[in-house]
Amino acid sequence: MKETVLGIQVNTETYDELIQQIFDRIEKKEKSLIVAINPEKIMKAKDDPALKKLLNEAEFQIPDGIGVILASKLQKGNIIERVTGIDLMMRICEEAAKRQKRVFLYGAKPGVAATAAEKLKELYPGIQIAGVQHGYEKDNEKVVAAINEAKPDILFVAMGSPKQENWINANRDRLYPIIYQGVGGSFDVLAGNVKRAPEFFQKIGLEWFYRLMLEPKRIKRQMALPKFLLEVLRNK
Ligand code: UDP
C-alpha cells in the first residue's frame, strides 16, 4: 500500500511486510528499486520534476526519517513505522542468508564495501556475498560486467542520492540482480567509519538531535523539517 505525501508515494508497510514483498518479487523475478524517502527529498522533488519522477517510479519508497511519519499523522494517513534504509538493508541481508540469496555491495571508497561485507558475514553467518565494488570506478562497463558475472539476486548501491538511483535506473535493464536498494552512506556505517546515534536516540526518534549535537552545521538542513510539516498541513 502507498500513501502520497506532498506528491510523493510512500509505502505504509512494516519491515516484516516489506521483507515478505521483496522476497516474493525475487521469486517472481520482478525487478524492483527501493528508495528511501525523507522530508529533504520530498521538498527537493517539488521543484525537480526529474527527481519526482524517479522517486515515484520506484517499486518501493520507504519512510526513512521521522518527518515522513509526522506528515502521515498530520494527514491522518497509515504510515506507522519508520523504515530506515540501513535497517531495511540489514533485514534484507538477514533474510537473504536464510534463503541463500546472493548480495552484492557496490559503492563507497575503495576497501569500505569489502569491510562492510566482512561485517555482514559476522552478523549473518552463511550470507552469500556475491561480490563487492567500490564506488569510484570510471569504467561503467567494468562495473556492470563485475556485477553480472557475480550473479547476485540483490544489489545494494551506496553512492549517495540521487546518484545511486540514477545509476540503477540507467543500468537495471541489463543487470542481473532483481532487487536494487540505494543505501547512501550505509557501507561506511557498517564498516565502522561513521557512527550512528546510540540506540536510545534511535528508539525515541531523536537520531537527528544526536547528530545535530555532533554537527551543529546540520541545523540548516534540519530547518527544512518545520517548513515541510507546514506545507503538509497546508495541502491537507
Ligand atoms: N560515493 C561513491 N561514489 C561517488 C560518490 C559517493 O561511492 O561517486 C559514496 C561515498 O563514498 C559515501 C556515499 O557514497 O560512502 C555517500 O554517502 P552519503 O552519506 O553522502 O549519502 P546520503 O545517504 O546522504 O545520500
- Residue closest to 148 by CA, chosen among 112, 175, 129: 175
Question: pLDDT > 70: what percent of the chain?
Answer: 100
Q: Alpha-carbon distance 102 to 88, whole Å?
A: 16
pTM of the model: 0.93
| Range 84-194: architecture per CATH | 3-Layer(aba) Sandwich (3.40)
CATH 3.40.50 domain extents, the chain? 84-194
Answer whether residue 222 shows pLDDT above 90: no
Ligand 1 pocket mutation pick from 89, 106, 159, 222 by most atoms within 8 angstroms of CB? 159
Residue nearest to atom 3 of ligand 1 (CA): 135
Question: CB under 8 Å to 88, separation ≥6 — which residues?
Answer: 15, 18, 34, 62, 181
CB 160 less than 6 A from any atom of ligand 1: yes
β-pairing, 179-182 with 32-37? parallel
Answer whether residue 155 shows pLDDT above 90: yes
Each residue's pLDDT tens digit, 159-177: 999 999 999 999 999 999 9
Q: Which atom of ligand 1 is nearest to the CA of 184?
A: 23
Each residue's pLDDT tens digit, 25-64: 999 999 999 999 999 999 999 999 999 999 999 999 999 9
Q: What is the dihedral of CA 71, 73, 75, 81, to 10 degrees?
A: 70
C-alpha 84 – ligand 1 centre gap (Å): 16
* Highest-pLDDT range among 9-13, 37-41, 42-46, 207-211: 9-13
C-alpha 116 – ligand 1 centre gap (Å): 14
Answer whether residue 10 shows pLDDT above 90: yes
CB 18 less than 6 A from any atom of ligand 1: no
- Residue closest to 132 by CA, chosen among 86, 88, 84, 190: 190
Least confident of 65-69, 130-134, 219-223: 219-223
C-alpha 159 – ligand 1 centre gap (Å): 4
Q: Alpha-carbon distance 212 to 229, whole Å?
A: 19
For residue 150 the three cell numbers come to: 557475480
pLDDT at 209: 87
pLDDT at 196: 81
β-pairing, 102-107 with 60-63? unpaired
Answer whether residue 213 shows pLDDT above 90: no
CB 161 less than 6 A from any atom of ligand 1: yes
- Mean pLDDT, the chain, whole residue set: 95
Answer whether residue 23 shows pLDDT above 80: yes
